[in-house]
Amino acid sequence: MSETLQLSGELVQQLQEVLATHDPRCGDPLVAVQYMAAVTGYLLACQHVPDDRRREFLEQLQAFMGSVFEDVVAQQRQVPPEPAHAPQEAFGIWRPGDP
C-alpha cells in the first residue's frame, strides 16, 4: 500500500459531489460511502493479480479504513484547547459605587 495519502475534507467533498452527479441520493454521505465501498471492491476485483493477493489487499484496505475511521473519530472528540489568553479569575467584594 502507499506510504502516504493526501486525504482532505475538500477531496472527500469533491468525491461526494461527483457521485451525486451520478446519483442524487449521494447527497447523503451514507449513500456516498456505499458507492465508494462498491467502487473499491469493483476496482480491486478487476485487477489482474492472483486471487490470494487481491484478498490480502482487501483485508489490508479493511484494516486501513478502520484506522482512518478511528483516527478521525478521535480527532473529532478532542476537547478544543483553552484560549491563549484565558480570562483570569478574580475575587473580591463589590459594593455599589465601586468602579
Give how many domains the chain has, as a whole number: 1
Assess if residue 1 is contained within a domain.
no
Expressed as residue numbers, the domain containing 64 is 9-76
Assess if residue 67 is contained within a domain.
yes
Give the residue, 23 or 78, on which the prediction is more confident. Answer: 23
Assess if residue 98 is contained within a domain.
no
Assess if residue 58 is contained within a domain.
yes
Residue 69 has pLDDT above 90, yes or no: yes
**Residue 40, phi then psi, degrees to nearest 5:** -60, -50
Assess if residue 92 is contained within a domain.
no
Contact indicator for 26, 32 with CB cutoff of 8 Å: yes
Residue 2's closest CA among 85, 46, 61? 61
Q: Cell for 79?
A: 476537547
pLDDT digits (tens, 9 = 90+) for 38-49: 999 999 999 999
